[in-house]
Amino acid sequence: VAQFGNQTTLPVSVPVAPTSPALFTADSSGQGQALASNADGTNNSAANPAAAGSVITLFGTGVGPMSPATPDGTILFAPLPKIANTITATVGGQAATVQSAGGVSNNVAGSVQINVQIPAGVSGAAVPVLIQAGGVSSPAGVMIAVSGN
C-alpha cells in the first residue's frame, strides 16, 4: 500500500527472493562484456583478455546477506564484509574456483566482488561467465575474454 496525502493505493503483492545474483557489465545493460578486472588490475576486454588459469575479479550484486550484516547503501571500508551465502562460478561452462567473495572497498553495500580462477583450457573473446548464490544463478549472456594457456 502506498499513501500520498489522503490518497491510498490498493494493496499489491510483490515477490521477494533471498538471492537474485547478477553480474555488472561494461555497458550497464546486464549483457555482454562483464565489468571485470584481470589479475594485473586492468579491465578485461577482447583487446585485453585474462590468461587461462589466472584470477579475474567480477563485480555484481544480489547475492544475499553479508557477514557481518551491513545495510544496503552503506559505504564500505576495511574490514570488508564477506558474503554469507556460498558463491560458486562457472566460466565457459566449467566449474571455476571462487577464491574470495565480499564487499567492495569505497563502494556501497550490496555491490560485491568475486575473485574467480579461470579454468585451464578455457579461451575466447566472449566466454560465458555465471555466478550462483543460494542456489540461484545469475542471468546468462555475460562474457569475459580469455587468452589460451
Of 21, 25, 31, whose CA–CA distance to 43 is shortest?
Answer: 25
Residue 70 confidence class, pLDDT cut points 50, 70, 90: confident
Range 105-125 average pLDDT? 94
* Structure confidence at residue 73 (pLDDT): 80
**pLDDT, tens digit (0-9, with 9 covering 90-100), for 37-68:** 999 999 999 999 999 999 999 999 999 999 99
Least confident of 51-60, 66-75, 79-88, 140-149: 66-75
Q: Quick one: cell of 132?
A: 550462483
Q: Contact at 8 Å (CB) between 145 and 50?
A: yes
Of 14, 16, 131, 140, whose CA–CA distance to 63 is shortest?
Answer: 131
Q: What angle do CA 107, 92, 30 make, to 5 degrees?
A: 40
**Neighbour tally for 63: CB within 10 Å:** 27
Q: Contact at 8 Å (CB) between 96 and 119?
A: yes
